[in-house]
Amino acid sequence: MNTVSPDQQALLERYRASHIGVFGMPGLVLSHGEGAYVWDVDGNRYLDLLGGIAVNALGHGHPELVAAVSTQAGAALHVSNFFTTPTQIEAAESLLRIAQAPQGSGVFFANSGSEAVETAIKLSRRTGRTGIVAAGGAFHGRTTGAVSLTHKEAYRAPFEPLLPGVTHVAPGDIDALRAAVGPETAMVLLEPIQGEAGVVPTPPGYLAQAREITREAGALLVLDEIQTGVGRTGAWFAHQLEGVTPDAMTVAKGLGGGVPIGGLVTFGPEVTGLLTAGQHGSTFGGNPLACSAALAVIATIESEGLLEHAVQAGQFLVERVTSLGHPLIAGVRGAGLLRAIRLTEPIAPAVAASCRAHGFIVNPVAPDALRLAPPLIITTDQLATFVDALPAILDAAAEQTPETP
Looking at residue 405, what is its pLDDT?
A: 46
pLDDT band at 29 (very low <50, low <70, confident <90, very high): very high
Looking at residue 2, what is its pLDDT?
A: 62
| Residue 404 reports pLDDT greater than 60 | no
Looking at the chain, the domain(s) classified CATH 3.90.1150.10 span 6-61+305-400
- The gap from C-alpha 75 to its chain's centroid, in whole angstroms, comes to 30
Q: How does pLDDT run across 230-287, given as a tens digit for each residue?
A: 999 999 999 999 999 999 999 999 999 999 999 999 999 999 999 999 999 999 999 9
Does residue 372 contact residue 332 with C-beta atoms inside 8 Å? no
Does residue 283 have a known ligand-binding role? yes
Mean pLDDT confidence for 378-403: 93
The Cα diameter of the chain in Å comes to: 64
> How much is the mean pLDDT over the chain?
97
Does residue 85 have a known ligand-binding role? no
224 among known catalytic residues: yes
The fold of the 76-303 domain, in CATH, is Aspartate Aminotransferase; domain 2 (3.40.640)
Domain 6-61+305-400 homologous superfamily, CATH: Aspartate Aminotransferase, domain 1 (3.90.1150.10)
Looking at residue 269, what is its pLDDT?
A: 98
* Among 40, 48, 253, 368, the one annotated catalytic: 253
Residue 1: CB atoms within 10 A of its CB come to 9
Looking at residue 401, what is its pLDDT?
A: 77
Does residue 226 have a known ligand-binding role? yes
Does residue 136 contact residue 169 with C-beta atoms inside 8 Å? yes
* Among 40, 108, 109, 224, the one annotated catalytic: 224
pTM of the model: 0.96
Residue 362, strand partner residues: none
pLDDT band at 402 (very low <50, low <70, confident <90, very high): low
Mean pLDDT confidence for 312-328: 98
Looking at residue 400, what is its pLDDT?
A: 84
Q: How does pLDDT run across 101-131, given as a tens digit for each residue?
A: 999 999 999 999 999 999 999 999 999 999 9
Q: Pick from 388, 101, 134: which is nearest to 266 by CA?
A: 101
Percent of the chain with pLDDT over 90: 97
| Residue 169 reports pLDDT greater than 90 | yes
CA distance 59 to 375: 5
Does residue 380 have a known ligand-binding role? no
Percent of the chain with pLDDT over 70: 99
Q: How does pLDDT run across 340-359, given as a tens digit for each residue?
A: 999 999 999 999 999 999 99
Q: Pick from 361, 376, 370, 139: which is nearest to 257 by CA?
A: 376
Q: How does pLDDT run across 54-81, given as a tens digit for each residue?
A: 999 999 999 999 999 999 999 999 999 9
253 among known catalytic residues: yes
Q: How does pLDDT run across 182-216, given as a tens digit for each residue?
A: 999 999 999 999 999 999 999 999 999 999 999 99
Looking at the chain, the domain(s) classified CATH 3.40.640.10 span 76-303
Does residue 202 have a known ligand-binding role? no
For the chain, give the secondary structure using H, E and C: CCCCCHHHHHHHHHHHHHCCHHHCCCCCCEEEEEECEEEECCCCEEEECCHHHHCCCCCECCHHHHHHHHHHHHHCCCCCCCCCCHHHHHHHHHHHHHCCCCCCCEEEEECCHHHHHHHHHHHHHCCCCCEEEEECCCCCCCCHHHHHHCCCHHHHHHHCCCCCCEEEECCCCHHHHHHHCCCCEEEEEECCEECCCCCEECCCCHHHHHHHHHHHHCCEEEEECCCCCCCCCCCCCHHHHHCCCCCEEEECHHHHCCCCCEEEEECCHHHHCCCCCCCCCCCCCCCHHHHHHHHHHHHHHHHCCHHHHHHHHHHHHHHHHHHHCCCCEEEEEEECCEEEEEECCCCHHHHHHHHHHCCEECEEEECCEEEECCCCCCCHHHHHHHHHHHHHHHHHHHHCCCCCC
* Among 139, 237, 360, 386, the one annotated catalytic: 139
Does residue 148 have a known ligand-binding role? no
Mean pLDDT confidence for 370-388: 98
